[in-house]
Structure 1
Amino acid sequence: MNTRSTIMDTNSFRAEHADALDTETRKLTDKRSKILGDSYRLFYRNPVHLVRGEGQYLWDAAGNQYLDVYNNVASIGHCHPAVIEAVNAQMKMLNTHTRYLHENILDYTEELLKTVPSEVDRAMYMCTGSEANDLAIRIAREYSGGTGIIVSQEAYHGTSSLTSGCSPALGTGQALDATTRLVPAPDHYRIQTEDLGDWFAAQIQQQIDDMNAHGIKFAGFLADSIFSSDGVMPNPVGFLKKAVDVVHANGGIFIADEVQPGFARTGDAFWGFARHGIVPDVITTGKPMGNGIPVSGLLAKGDVLAAFSDQIPYFNTFGGNPVAMAAAQAVLKVIQEEELQAHSQKVGALLQAELAKLMDKHECVGDVRGAGLFIGFELVKDRDSKTPDKTLALDLIEELRNTHRVLTSVAGPYGNVLKLRPPLAFQAHDIDWLVNALDQAITKLKG
């Protein structure tokens, strides 16, 4: 594994890029370096100074318009009026914590629980996905009596001590917890096997056996069902079910990290895990839930949560506050009323079909895969060997940003997969902008 973080350092501004910046941009980057912590990273060799957003579009300080093909924070679109109105109205009335009674948290929870399997019947709230996954790990350990957590090889699950210890994508500078075990990503493009489900379940069992051999009791399997940080691996539909069966057979729980694939993103289902026909023991979510307002949640089977909550009180000062719940309720209502799940499925299929045509034109496009508006666009040096082309991928996202005003980034252990994940406001008429930009940028770089 590289010492550099694949999610933080692969597409990032570094000091050696500073001399190429214009005066105003250089002033801002210099100021950041003087007063902000050195752990922060900026996207792009020439960082983007954004000042406004609307729907799937962003504008920089010079007035240039960009197509956002990366952002699931503003999941239903930048500055959505429904969220602005809901937050503003609640902010004028009250904002406090969950130790007082309030209708918002109850009304929202009743609606949210309707979207998950009936076995999942309890909710708790935090501010970030990291906090949600942190609590999920604690619940897994209380329920199972074990400590061992299994994640995929390039997983990212958060920044707390517990979650960073289960996030190999942060790089070797961040040590993994001694009780964390890694399984290879279910890479359908590269792994030659008759049944990916059987193969992946065997990988899980192998790591559980390794835990047992080292005196570690297995607690749970934590996974983002689209394996975003591993390079976007959504298919074949249903392959995760056998792995979850192995988890349960060994006394552990399955935690579905839905920060990336949840809230209608994959089109096929409201939740990413639902594409695989499984019922998680715990579901965590974050960014897309509030469309830019910091809010996250944890949904769980009552008996699983009880193993923790019957023993340990939990309080999060800002988690579930009335303003955050108003934002979350507005997001859920927009997804339902604007039928964004069906929209994601339809427009995502159109986009995937157009992207696949680029494979016929460019040998460097090795694979196009995805579900709904979550697509991986993999670049290779050679299709037969499937050798990753990280250099091309990084040059491509710079060319997209500088010449075509398209914003995206890369994923995967090799940094060669473009992660195309626009706000759900992305429309069919935006496809030409994105696909033509990719076509022209690849032609230029490979010419």
Structure 2
Amino acid sequence: MELTKENTLALRNKLIGQSVRLFYSDSPVKITRARGQYLFDENGTEYLDCISNVQHVGHCHPSITEAAARQMDLLNTNTRFLHDNIITYAERLAATLPAKLSVFYFVNSGSEANDLALRLAQQYTQQEDVIVLDHAYHGHLMSLIDISPYKFRKLTGQKEWVHVAPLPDTYRGVYRADQSNPGKAYADAVKDVIDQVQSKGRKIAAFFAESLPSVGGQIIFPEGYSVKVAEYVHSAGGIFVADEVQTGFGRVGTHFWAFQLQGENFCPDIVTMGKPMGNGHPLACVVTTAEIAGAFTANGVEYFNTFGGNPVSCAIGLAVLDVIEKEDLRGNAIKVGAMFKHLLQQLSSKYELIGDVRGVGLFIGLELVTDRELKTPATHTAAYIVKRLKEDHIVVSTDGPWDNVLKFKPPMCFSMDNAKRVTQCIDNILADIKTKNLELDRDDV
């Protein structure tokens, strides 16, 4: 028997840990089915999904579900048996990456991937210390909470072996877009951290960063940043880990991986991937160099993952790659993302609340401020807009240190009409705020 929304919520509150929060916790939406970029509640009401980057090629894509069912009906077994799918999938992924990234470890989640990347880095360098970006989030395991300022600042605090570099935010950070070479300036700030670490007699194992920081507020790295950071980190004996869990698989459009936006001369030593890989199925991966993988093998301790890279997961992963290619979803990200960003930028000329519009492909952030000069975060206004968009049946959420950035990471099938609809609804809401002279952030940070 299907439960009513009220019964479902009551049982969830009773049985599921309260720290596992729902979207719109004061008035949750019960979703019973989905297709493409649309979600449907128990009454059949359609919601436009602007945030499910996990369902990368679209919710319940028939090619993905068919591949999963076909392989599930044939074989799904422990990954320590020899099977073609994992090899075929690794070859397909390798074709999208620089040649030196050639050894793959398949796991089940982005958190598992980042935890393994940390182990690889520390084993290879025989050092412990890690540099991360401020407000970074790399996963929910204890090892990753330790290197996620977004989390550890609220919990036990910063470990001695973890060091935080400034978020390279060229909108509100120390070095702005209108300054000369902000990429080098932010990279030099990482060099300062390295120098501080070494002055204490410690050494660097790794620099760990999302290729486009998402929780940090949909940040786009300034030109030259990663190349220069890698130079400094390598000189210190460390390695560069690029977290592509949120941004990989063509979301930026022009490239398959977001780290490639930093130029052909840049290649991380380790890349982690996750969310979009399985289109909702738990599938993730770490790829690294033969040298780093060799050092991990040399420790004499076997690594195995019972489910990571199983035949069904790899069949799904292969199907995702096929859909990205056949439906030209990278091309769609370029075209729709550019138009969406342009439409949002047009709104900024009408409303002082819009401080910045940034992004690439279908990775876009809209930062709201109460004062453009001071860049005062409009946190409550952002929350109000999210609530109003829900009433318009559009699902959006916020991110950034002050939760004042509306983030857009929709399924890659997001259309021109979808972008126009979202922009028009935001326009209507901002016009309403302006007309009514609402001061939602009067007491804000």
1:379 and 2:360 matched:
no
1:407 and 2:395 matched:
yes
Indicate how the Cα distance of structure 1 residues 274 and 405 shifts in structure 2: closer, same or farther if over 3 A, else same.
same
1:35 and 2:15 matched:
yes
Matching residue within 286, 309, 319 for 1:320: 309
Alpha-carbon shift at residue 295 of structure 1 (Å): 0.5
Q: How many Å separate the matches in 2 of 1:397 and 1:59?
A: 18
Q: How many Å separate the matches in 2 of 1:46 and 1:24?
A: 14
Report the AA paired with residue 283 of structure 1.
Answer: V
Matching residue within 270, 286, 299 for 1:298: 286
Report the AA paired with residue 374 of structure 2.
Answer: S
Q: How many Å separate the matches in 2 of 1:275 and 1:252?
A: 22
**Normalised by the size of structure 2, how large is the TM-score?**
0.93
1:179 — aligned with what? Answer: 161
Alpha-carbon shift at residue 240 of structure 1 (Å): 2.0
Q: How many Å separate the matches in 2 of 1:294 and 1:97?
A: 15
Report the AA paired with residue 70 of structure 2.
Answer: A
Matching residue within 206, 209, 216 for 2:192: 206
1:251 — aligned with what? Answer: 237
Matching residue within 314, 321, 338 for 2:327: 338
Q: How many Å separate the matches in 1 of 2:407 and 2:223?
A: 19
Alpha-carbon shift at residue 261 of structure 1 (Å): 1.2
CA contact (8 A) 2:114 2:243 kept: yes
Q: Secondary structure at the match of 2:135?
A: coil
Q: Secondary structure at the match of 1:422?
A: coil
Indicate how the Cα distance of structure 1 residues 303 and 400 shifts in structure 2: closer, same or farther if over 3 A, else same.
same
Q: How many Å separate the matches in 1 of 2:401 and 2:428?
A: 26
Report the AA paired with residue 389 of structure 1.
Answer: A
Matching residue within 275, 285, 305 for 2:273: 285
Q: Secondary structure at the match of 1:151?
A: strand
Q: 1:34-433 maps to which residues of 2 (within 5 A)?
A: 34-44=14-24, 45-170=26-151, 171-190=153-172, 191-192=175-176, 193-277=179-263, 278-311=266-299, 312-402=301-391, 404-433=392-421
* Deviation string, structure 1 residues 357-384 (Cα, Å, up to 9, x no partner): 1101111001000000000100000111
Alpha-carbon shift at residue 237 of structure 1 (Å): 4.0
CA contact (8 A) 2:169 2:220 kept: no
Alpha-carbon shift at residue 25 of structure 1 (Å): 4.4
Give the length in aligned residue pairs: 424
* Deviation string, structure 1 residues 323-356 (Cα, Å, up to 9, x no partner): 0001100001111222211221111001100111
**Normalised by the size of structure 1, how large is the TM-score?**
0.92
Alpha-carbon shift at residue 39 of structure 1 (Å): 2.1
CA contact (8 A) 2:184 2:224 kept: no
1:436 and 2:436 matched:
no
The Cα RMSD (Å) is 1.4
Alpha-carbon shift at residue 24 of structure 1 (Å): 5.2
Q: Secondary structure at the match of 2:191?
A: helix
CA contact (8 A) 1:345 1:372 kept: yes
CA contact (8 A) 2:270 2:286 kept: yes
Q: Secondary structure at the match of 1:270?
A: coil
Report the AA paired with residue 164 of structure 2.
Answer: L
Indicate how the Cα distance of structure 1 residues 174 and 67 shifts in structure 2: closer, same or farther if over 3 A, else same.
farther
User: Which ranges in structure 2 are unaligned for 5 or more consecutive residues?
Assistant: 437-445
Q: How many Å separate the matches in 2 of 1:33 and 1:385?
A: 41
Indicate how the Cα distance of structure 1 residues 309 and 183 shifts in structure 2: closer, same or farther if over 3 A, else same.
same
* Deviation string, structure 1 residues 172-222 (Cα, Å, up to 9, x no partner): 125443311111111111233421211111121122222223333210011
Q: How many Å separate the matches in 2 of 1:445 and 1:34?
A: 38
Report the AA paired with residue 35 of structure 1.
Answer: L
Report the AA paired with residue 81 of structure 2.
Answer: Y
Identical positions, percent: 41
Q: How many Å separate the matches in 1 of 2:58 and 2:186?
A: 35
User: Which ranges in structure 1 are unaligned for 5 or more consecutive residues?
Assistant: 1-22
1:3 — aligned with what? Answer: none
Alpha-carbon shift at residue 268 of structure 1 (Å): 2.0
Q: How many Å separate the matches in 1 of 2:294 and 2:187?
A: 28
Q: How many Å separate the matches in 2 of 1:113 and 1:270?
A: 12
CA contact (8 A) 1:129 1:287 kept: yes
CA contact (8 A) 2:207 2:239 kept: yes
